[in-house]
Amino acid sequence: MVLFFFQLKTCFRASSFLLFVRYNITCAQSAGGKVVLRGMYTDVHCHLLPGVDDGVESFKEAEAWLKRAREENITRVIATPHIRPDTYPNKPHELKHRFAELCERAKDSGVELQLGAEVYYRHDLAEAIAKKEILTIGFGGRYLLVELPLAILPAGTEDVFYRLRLSGVEPVLAHPERYIFSRDEPMRLAELAREGTLFQITTHSITGGFGGAVQRTAFRLLELGWVAVVASDAHRLAARPPMFREAVRVLANRYGRAAARRLAVENPRRLFNGEHIEPVACQPRRWRLGAFST
């Protein structure tokens, strides 16, 4: 009897070891450059428009930026320069003029471009759109990319977003994983999620580029089923270049390829086209005999 249990224990240890080896080989293959998803990416948040904020500085840099984007399999980009009264008081008509020049220079880049903005939170977002002080995605489209203050969730944000929705505009919350208040207490975003705010997570957060706390918050929000799209939020080419492939590998390894595809391919493309999108339910893959289930 004792011998039987000894053999059983040895057998269990050996199979655990094999499972461990198989898991690590799978991860290594993915991290080593294997194509995880077929299809091209759409980047719905980045600072590609030259000379208007802390992003790309020149048209020459923009051309190199787009070349890098193609290497990442990005074929559609929404340029979303900051609109923020204290630091980047950009005017929509000026951005539109500059965007036209970018399109002219980038016509052979293989990347389809669209203009939007990353609008800093204010209490009168709906009114500001009506007065043409801020810019929705696609210059008049149904989605508005909104950035909140880093440290606090402003009182009444839920009401402001509700009024926005009543006016026909869907708020997309930029990088919720990076706000200090959501890192400490992700559930403070629950009301916004419940009322249908679309969350955009940044690819560099998923790969750990902003540190472990931001990465853990990104995973938490994904696993709460609140996130609809991922985007690069790329700035200067040297500091934070456009990046999708590595983040998609992390997502596919953790949540399966179907979820990664919806977050990185399908929903961003639909957002680019002004079509309806839904958040993606993400569940960590579980152990199954010798493999992960998805």
Fill in the per-residue mask, 13 to 42: x = in contact with Fe ion (CB under 5 A), - = not in contact: ------------------------------
**What is the CA angle 130-156-137, rounded to 5?**
35
In this structure, is the dihedral angle defined by the CA atoms of residues 248, 252, 255 and 257, taken in order, positive or negative? positive
Helix 92-105 to helix 59-71 angle (10° resolution) is: 70
Q: For Fe ion, what does the binding mask look like between residues 216 and 235, x meaning CB under 5 A?
A: -----------------x--
Parallel, antiparallel, or unpaired for β 291-292 and 287-288? antiparallel
Sign of CA dihedral 95, 174, 190, 278: positive
Q: If 0-12 CB within 10 Å is exposed, 13-18 middle and 19+ buried, where does residue 290 land?
A: exposed
The least distance separating Fe ion from the CB of residue 271, rounded to whole angstroms, comes to 15
Our CB check for Fe ion shows the closer of 46 and 282 to be: 46
Footprint (CB under 5 A) of Fe ion, residues 232-261: 233
Which parts of 101-120 interact with Fe ion (CB under 5 A)?
118
Q: How far is the CB of 92 from Fe ion (least distance, A)?
A: 17
Q: Which residue lies nearer to Fe ion by CB, 43 or 170?
A: 43
| Full DSSP string of 153-190 | --TTHHHHHHHHHHTT-EEEEE-GGGSHHHHH-GGGGH
Strands 74-79 and 112-115: parallel
Give whichever of 230 and 252 is closer to Fe ion, judged by the CB atom. 230
Cβ nearer to Fe ion, comparing 84 with 188 = 84
In the bound state with Fe ion, the residue whose beta carbon lies nearer, of 43 and 118, is: 118
- The residue among 36 and 218 lying less far from Fe ion, judged by its C-beta, is 218
Closest distance to Fe ion from the beta carbon of 132 (Å): 21
3-state secondary structure of 216: helix
Residue 84 beta carbon to Fe ion: minimum distance, rounded to whole angstroms = 10
Element (H, E) at 228: strand 227-231
Q: What angle do CA 118, 141, 194 make, to 5 degrees?
A: 70
CA–CA distances in Å: residue 66 to residues 2, 39, 251, 273? 67, 18, 24, 20
**68 vs 257, which CB is nearer to Fe ion?**
68
43 is an interface residue for Fe ion by CB under 5 A: no
Query: Of 196-215, which residues contact Fe ion (CB under 5 A)?
Result: none
- Using CB under 5 A as the criterion, which residues of the chain lie in contact with Fe ion when the complex forms? 118, 233
